[in-house]
Structure 1
Amino acid sequence: MRAMKMALILSLSAGALSAKPHLRDVAKVDRTLLAVGIADEIRKNCPSISARMLKALSVIRDVGAHARDLGYTEEEIDAYRKSDVEKDRLKAERREYLNAAGVVTDAPDTYCHLGRTEIEKGGQIGALLRMN
């Protein structure tokens, strides 16, 4: 009887420990990927701004390490990263951010203005960019 109770306790606690939120709900992971996407969009559309590629790679590596530290497997991380649903969701959020910041598609100067603003703010997006 005591062994059964112990087995039940262990199985219930293992279930509680393995219950993780979806990676989209882990703010540090999701917001970092959004910031990388925004920075990438700016650098692709503004000829006077480029990416800090080593910084971007470091940020992506760090966010993966953070997810692993939280108990996510490489398979879970890859599934999130490669998910078309998540890509579309992040793309929509990126578009909302750019629109709210006054970016106009086919107007590079608006991307450049946002890029300069982000660089001056020194936040997560600006840290991934540099003036040419």
Structure 2
Amino acid sequence: MKWVSSIVLSAVIAVSAGSAQAGLADEQDINQRLLVVAAADKIRRACDGIGARLFKARSYINQTKDLAADRGYSDADIDAYINDKAEKAKMRERRNAYFKSKGASNLDAQSLCVLGQAEMSQGTQIGQLLRAK
């Protein structure tokens, strides 16, 4: 009987996590914030002359997690969502589409560096997470 309870509990947890994941996928402002982080991170990694404003980036990420928590998502829900392979692929597609809309390519470091410089000079949210080295 004890193992039945474990199976039922595991199924409930899995369904709850799936529901939370589906809910997070619909949170447009949270996903926009995640896109900002993804874009800034890719630019930072591609460009030797651009680094991250680590304190500011950590604060931005924590604010995003707080926003999700205020809407009822647990840390486990958030972690499951951002670590899900399918969601990561969707975010890469959104990030790459953003780069393309700005005349850059995720496969061209130079174009990402130009974009990063523009983001910083314009003071965009992405630019605020970056710094010139």
Normalising by structure 2, we get a TM-score of 0.78
Tell me the C-alpha RMSD between the 2 structures.
1.8
Query: Residue 7 of structure 2 aligns with which residue?
Result: none
Query: Residue 89 of structure 1 aligns with which residue?
Result: 90
SS at match of 2:44: helix
Equivalent-residue separation in structure 1 for 2:93 and 2:106 (angstroms): 14
SS at match of 1:50: strand
Work out whether residues 30 and 68 of structure 2, in 8 Å CA contact, stay in contact via their aligned partners in 1.
yes
Deviation at 1:104, TM superposition (A): 3.6
Gaps of 5+ in 1: 1-18
Please list the CA deviations of residues 69-124 of structure 1 after superposition, one character each: whole Å capped at 9, or x if unmatched: 11112221121111111101000111111122222455432111100111122121
SS at match of 1:102: coil
Query: Residue 103 of structure 2 aligns with which residue?
Result: 102
Which stretch of the first structure deviates more once superposed, 112-121 or 70-79? 70-79
1:34 aligns with 2:26: no
1:115 aligns with 2:111: no
Q: CA separation of 1:72/1:111 partners in 2, compared to 1, >3 Å: closer, same or farther?
A: same
Equivalent-residue separation in structure 2 for 1:104 and 1:60 (angstroms): 24
Aligned partner letter, 1:22: G
Gaps of 5+ in 2: 1-18
Work out whether residues 96 and 106 of structure 2, in 8 Å CA contact, stay in contact via their aligned partners in 1.
no
Alignment of 1:1-132 (within 5 A): 22-132=23-133
Equivalent-residue separation in structure 1 for 2:107 and 2:49 (angstroms): 15
Aligned partner letter, 1:60: I
- Give the greater-gyration-radius structure (CA): 1
Q: CA separation of 1:26/1:113 partners in 2, compared to 1, >3 Å: closer, same or farther?
A: same
Deviation at 1:28, TM superposition (A): 2.2
Deviation at 1:54, TM superposition (A): 1.3
Equivalent-residue separation in structure 2 for 1:45 and 1:121 (angstroms): 20
Moved over 6 A (4+): none
Aligned length, in residue pairs: 114
